[in-house]
Amino acid sequence: MPGLRASPPALLLLLALALPRGSLAVQQLEPGSRSAAAAARVALQYRNFQAGSLGGLRALGQVRKATLKNIPESGHKYYLQFSTEDYRTGEDAGNCLATVLFPKKKSRPVVSIKCSHTKDQKEIQEEDNKFYQRIRHQSKPITASNIPDSYGNIEPALEPVWALAVAGSSSIMWEKSTETLGYFLAQVKSARQWMRKDDFIEFDYTVLLHEMPTQEIISCHMRLTWLPGQPLKVKHFCAPEGHGAEQGSGAESGSAAGPAAEKGASF
């Protein structure tokens, strides 16, 4: 059809006009950039929670490639390629490709992530079963505090309890993260097991999260259940920031403010 054949440039122009302005704004980020690393961390927190595996927990290695795209009316979307390490041993655990969308409206980041692995699934499953058995074999409910202790020690017997806390708190950290606020697990303040009639493991935790860049220490309460091969179920409530809770360098005396409704709380 002669009319169409003659008008490709016009078509392109139409297309360009039809799309909202700035939607093609794409920015290459330095692999060493802070925001790229923060976004990669959020992606891993999401994965560590979703995978429901203690043996498969990963920490961020190095960001290899990072791109930032502004999606109008939606938010900022990061495209990332990064290496990972085994959370416990620090050994190379493989690479990941991920996208992280920080929505304009205050809600949790939207993450898609796919990773290669150096350990095969069977190996990870075996480790999970070992962790599971170590907890199940206790005759009495496990209680513990300060993991690691002030000197960075984690008692070998408490390693499964710690790993479970890492997996569970990852859900809290992922949900709370924004493009400018990131989280690290500073310490497991307390852990208390609830015995169940079924095969699930259930724990109550108080965890301290280190918030960046504010440097605040946030205290969160977490109740979780776990069975190897099943997704983790986590309910959490974090103390309101800035006043009352003396976890970081906040108030001197006890909490004056009562627990306020906190976004993301799901009790």
Binding residues for other proteins, per CB under 8 A? 32-34, 41, 59-60, 62, 87, 90, 148-153, 184-187, 208, 210, 212-217, 242-243, 246-253, 256
Query: Residue 220: CB partners within 8 Å, gap ≥ 6?
Result: 169, 172, 206, 207, 208, 209, 236, 237, 238, 239
Query: How open is the CA angle 37-247-243, to the nearest 5 degrees?
Result: 100
Q: Which is nearer to other proteins, 98 or 208 (CB)?
A: 208
Q: Which is nearer to other proteins, 20 or 152 (CB)?
A: 152
Q: How far is the CB of 237 from other proteins (least distance, A)?
A: 19
In this structure, which amino acid lies at residue 37?
A: A
Q: Which is nearer to other proteins, 201 or 245 (CB)?
A: 245
Q: Is the CB of residue 177 less than 8 Å from the CB of residue 109?
A: yes
Q: How far is the CB of 217 from other proteins (least distance, A)?
A: 5
In this structure, which amino acid lies at residue 130?
A: K
Q: Which is nearer to other proteins, 67 or 214 (CB)?
A: 214
Q: Which is nearer to other proteins, 189 or 223 (CB)?
A: 189
66's tokens? 């990072």
Query: Residue 76: CB partners within 8 Å, gap ≥ 6?
Result: 68, 69, 70, 101, 102, 179
Q: How far is CA 175 from CA 102, 110, 130, 211, 266, in A?
A: 11, 9, 29, 13, 12
Q: How far is the CB of 44 from other proteins (least distance, A)?
A: 10
Q: How far is the CB of 210 from other proteins (least distance, A)?
A: 6
Q: How far is the CB of 198 from other proteins (least distance, A)?
A: 33
- Give the strand pairing for 233-238 and 58-71: unpaired
Task: Report the alpha-carbon distance of residue 200 to residue 209 in Å, rounded.
Answer: 26
Length of the chain: 267
Q: How far is the CB of 192 from other proteins (least distance, A)?
A: 20
Q: How far is the CB of 178 from other proteins (least distance, A)?
A: 13
84's tokens? 């990972």
Q: Which is nearer to other proteins, 124 or 173 (CB)?
A: 173
207's tokens? 């965890």
Q: Which residues pair with 103 in a beta bridge?
A: 75
Q: Which is nearer to other proteins, 111 or 188 (CB)?
A: 188
